[in-house]
A and B are shown apart, each in its own frame.
Chain A
Amino acid sequence: MIQLENIHRYFQVGEQSVHALNDITIAINKGEYVSVMGPSGSGKSTLLNVIALLDKPSSGRYLLNKLDVTQRTDDELAKVRRENIGFVFQFFHVIPRLTAAENIEMPMILAGIEVKERKQRVAQALASVNLQDRASHRPDQLSGGQLQRVAIARAMIMQPEILLADEPTGNLDSKSGMEIIELLEGLNQQGVTLMIITHDQTVGNRALRKIRIVDGQIAK
């Protein structure tokens, strides 16, 4: 379902041109569990951003569900993102003034879903990440692991087929990190395509398919 063909991405940093992605060609099938590893600066975050449609490749073709998404406007991409892709970030990225439930609700608000359905789905999502009793807590009253579970619930609320996780355990102690990984793997077993970016070997090695990136190229 994700097809990257000869993707290049250049950045202009000062007077230097950085070649962040160098001729990347990969295909990821529905329901796969993929980890992307590599040293910092290798281009793995750029790869994630391109797949996530947050960043546009300088050249190459990207087919998502057999649709070419390289030449789309920002707003079209926003809609594609909303319906197909869920995100989990290293720094959780929850909105501090909103409660856990409100943070989870946000993608549905943007999608224009009726209030009644929103409430139902939020309640289900909170239950699925085991945070029923934290629904009206604000982020500053939650632990890191809880925040990441809120983020996962939010990522899955639109029932996307793809779940992208950028260093999901990077800011957590190993115990809650492991809980998060197990939660993500559980979602994968339900059929969600899971892609985890990490430089933690133990996390990366759990994936069935491991992609290693060095200097913007896929290492064999």
Chain B
Amino acid sequence: MFIKDTLTQAYGAIRAQRLRAALIILAMSIGVASVTVLTALGESARSYIVNEFEALGTHLVIVLPGRSETTGGHPPLFGETPRDLTLDDADALFRSHHIAAIAPLTIGSAPVSAQGLERETNIFGSTHALRRVRHLTMAQGSFLPEMDVDKAMPVCVIGQTIREELFVDQPALGQWLRINDRRFRVVGVLASEGQSIGVDFDEMVIIPVASAQALFDTHSLFRILIETKSKESMYKAIDEIKSIIKARHEGEDDITIITQDSVVSTFDKILTALTLTVVSIAGISLVVAGVLVMNVMLVSVTQRTAEVGLLKALGATKRQLHWLFLTEAAMLSLAGALLGVLLGQVTIATLEAVYPDFPIQSPGWALLAALGVSLFTGLVFGVLPARKAAQLDPVAALSKR
């Protein structure tokens, strides 16, 4: 028996029962469509977030004061910070050859006012290096000037929201801005960045770090952002940062270092796991569709008992009968899978049209996997009915009408 004939015969059998075929194809396609859509959503969320992080620069190292370690005492269970990070610490880090830029960071919240308008906002104290490390772009003017880190200077850079709210329709550049009881001249306005990993630069006022320390009356740094010279030198840089700070902190290893890498890979892992979970749940619908294929095929075998008997009498081998029924199951599954992929693409296209900001892409492997899995389920669940047909006793089968 030729493959082409097997296909023709199986197709003929499917065509003879259109409603049954349509329902089974529908069930299969819903399963496949949900798998492709959910994979696409999960995968897009993952790449969206990973991209967002990577936009910050892949060789960013963040140094935090203190070290998370359990102390075994009363809450808080984390070890207290015995020593703060200071500007001198940040300065000392320049001894490492692997570091390209260092931006010390002090953060506080204070009321800012200009021309009678006032609001509370976040103040970043840093240096001109922050612009490079966080990849900030300027809309107007310039960023903080290059100067000694320990020098306070009454200048500030403001975000778009602050500009709109405090300097409604007037040029902000060169104007005075009052933070608490100190005055700062606006030297630059940041371009609108939108949310960038929890930090809204649009609502930010950036001032020299020494000014911020004076403003908030502190000597400690919130953290130090470091850009290493290359990705490869990042790990050497981390070792050097540790040893430099350790030497300065009387042999105490009391800082925590976060790399961009570890953050990205953690998110990557979490979201991949999430995607897989969601897809597995959708996969259940594929299995259900498979059971449906089996059920319908079993009914089909029963209905066509006499036909199977006849084919046996005409000289059909078990193998041939097996393949006839398997092909029928596979064709139904494949048709369902193709329709499902189509449905999935339509859904994705619709989602893209409704939410243009969220980039949805369906990965090619997911399509192939959905097709493969549905064909596989169809075949697996087609085996039992096909076996049943092949095993039928021809005499008993023929006596049925």
Contact across chains for A106 and B314 when beta carbons are under 8 A apart: yes
User: Which chain B positions have C-beta within 8 A of A87?
Assistant: 313-314
**Given A91-B401, A97-B16, A109-B9: A79 and B1 within 8 A (CB)?**
no
CB contacts (< 8 Å) of B306 on chain A: these are: 93
- Within 8 Å by CB of A111, from B315, B395, B401, lies B315
Q: How far is the CA of A112 from the CA of B15 in the complex (A)?
A: 23
**How far, in whole Å, are A77 and B394 apart by their CA atoms in the complex?**
12
B1 to A81, Cβ gap below 8 A?
Answer: no
Would you call B1 and A109 a contact (CB within 8 A)?
yes
Chain A, interface residues (CB within 8 Å), range: 20 to 34
Minimum Cβ distance to chain B for residue A103 (Å): 9
Complex: how many Å from CA A158 to CA B315? Answer: 10
**A54 with B394: CB separation less than 8 A:** yes
- Residue with the highest number of chain A CB atoms closer than 10 Å, among B9, B314, B398: B314
Q: Which residues of A contact B310 (CB under 8 A)?
A: 93, 95
B317 in the interface, Cβ–Cβ < 8 Å? yes
User: B2 on the interface (CB 8 Å rule)?
Assistant: yes
- B-side contacts of A106, CB under 8 Å: 311, 314
Q: Tally B residues with Cβ within 8 Å of A.
A: 26
> CA–CA, A111 to B1, complex, Å?
6
- CB–CB A78/B307 < 8 A: no
Q: How far is the CA of A52 from the CA of B313 in the complex (A)?
A: 8
Contact partners of B317 in chain A: CB under 8 A: 74-75, 78-79, 110
Instruction: State whether the Cβ of A55 lies closer than 8 Å to any Cβ in chain B.
Output: yes
B185 within 8 A of A: no
* B12 close to A (CB within 8 Å): yes
Per-position 1/0 for B155-195, Cβ under 8 A of A? 00000000000000000000000000000000000000000
> Chain A residues with Cβ under 8 A from B15's Cβ?
97
Known: A97-B16, A109-B9. A79 touches B395 (CB 8 A): no
Please pick, from B2, B16, B309, B313, the residue contacting A81 in the complex, using a CB distance under 8 A. B313
Q: How far is the CB of A158 from chain B (nearest CB, A)?
A: 8
Interface string of A99-132 (1 = CB under 8 A from B): 0000000110111100000000000000000000
Q: Which residues of B contact A49 (CB under 8 A)?
A: 395
B21 to chain A, nearest CB (A): 13
The interface residues of chain A lying within 8 Å CB-to-CB of B311 are 106, 110
A78 near B316: Cβ-Cβ < 8 Å: yes
List chain B residues, Cβ under 8 A from A74: 317-318
Bound-complex Cα distance A96 to B313 (A) = 17
Tell yes or no: B312 within 8 A of A by CB: yes
Q: How far apart sit A79 and B398, CA to CA, in the bound complex (Å)?
A: 18
Please determine whether B12 and A98 come into contact, CB atoms closer than 8 angstroms: yes
Give bound CA distance, A74 to B394, whole Å: 10
Contacts of A112 in B (CB 8 A): 1-2
For B4, give the chain A residue with the smallest CB separation: A115
Q: Does B5 contact A (CB under 8 A)?
A: yes
- Once the chains bind, are A81 and B315 in contact (CB under 8 Å)? yes
A197 to B313: give the CA distance in the assembly, Å: 17
Question: What's the Cα separation between A52 and B394 when bound, in Å?
Answer: 11
* CB-CB contacts below 8 Å: A46-72 with B: 49, 52, 54-55
A89, B314: Cβ atoms closer than 8 Å: no
CA distance A83 to B401 in the complex (A): 25
Q: Is there an interface contact between B318 and A110, defined as CB atoms closer than 8 Å? A: no
B314 near A97: Cβ-Cβ < 8 Å: no
- Verify if B319 is at the interface (C-beta below 8 Å from A): yes
Question: B216 to nearest A CB, angstroms?
Answer: 85
Q: Which residues of A contact B398 (CB under 8 A)?
A: 54, 89, 93
Task: State the Cβ distance, B188 to closest chain A Cβ, in Å.
Answer: 79
A contact residues around B318 at 8 Å (CB): 74-75, 78
B320 within 8 A of A: yes
Within 8 A of B (CB), among A154-179: 154, 158
**In the assembled complex, A82 has its CB within 8 A of some CB on chain B:** yes
Q: Are B314 and A107 in contact (CB under 8 A)?
A: yes
Contact present for A154 and B314 (CB under 8 Å): yes
Binary interface encoding of chain B residues 6-48 relative to chain A, with 1 for a CB under 8 A from any of its CBs, else 0: 0001001101100000000000000000000000000000000
Chain B residues whose CB sits within 8 angstroms of the CB of A79 once the complex forms: 315, 317
Chain A residues contacting B16 (CB-CB under 8 Å) are 96-97
Residues of B near A82 (CB, < 8 A) are: 314-315
**Alpha-carbon separation in the docked complex, A87 to B314 (Å):** 8
Contact A97 B401 (CB under 8 A): no
Complex Cα spacing A89 to B15, Å: 27
Q: Is A54 a contact of B320 with CB atoms below 8 Å?
A: no
**How many angstroms between the C-alpha atoms of A110 and B9 in the bound complex?**
11
| CB of B330, distance to nearest CB on chain A (Å) | 19
Complex contact A110–B12 (CB within 8 A)? no
B12, B313, B318 pick with most chain A CB within 10 angstroms = B313
A97 touches B13 (CB 8 A): yes
Cβ–Cβ < 8 Å partners of A95 in chain B: 307, 310
Q: A107-B314, A110-B1, A110-B311 are in contact. List 15 more A-B contacts (CB 8 A).
A: A52-B313, A55-B395, A78-B316, A79-B317, A82-B314, A83-B315, A89-B398, A93-B310, A93-B313, A95-B310, A107-B315, A109-B2, A109-B5, A110-B314, A110-B317
Give 29 A-B contacts (CB < 8 Å), ordered by A residue: A54-B312, A54-B395, A75-B317, A75-B319, A78-B312, A78-B316, A81-B313, A81-B315, A82-B314, A82-B315, A83-B315, A87-B313, A87-B314, A93-B310, A95-B307, A96-B16, A97-B12, A97-B13, A97-B15, A97-B16, A98-B12, A106-B311, A107-B314, A107-B315, A109-B2, A110-B311, A110-B320, A112-B2, A154-B314
**Interfacial residues, chain B to chain A (CB-CB below 8 A):** 1-2, 5, 9, 12-13, 15-16, 306-307, 309-320, 394-395, 398, 401
Ordered nearest first, which 7 A-B pairs have the shortest CB separation? A82-B315, A97-B16, A75-B317, A54-B394, A93-B310, A107-B314, A78-B317
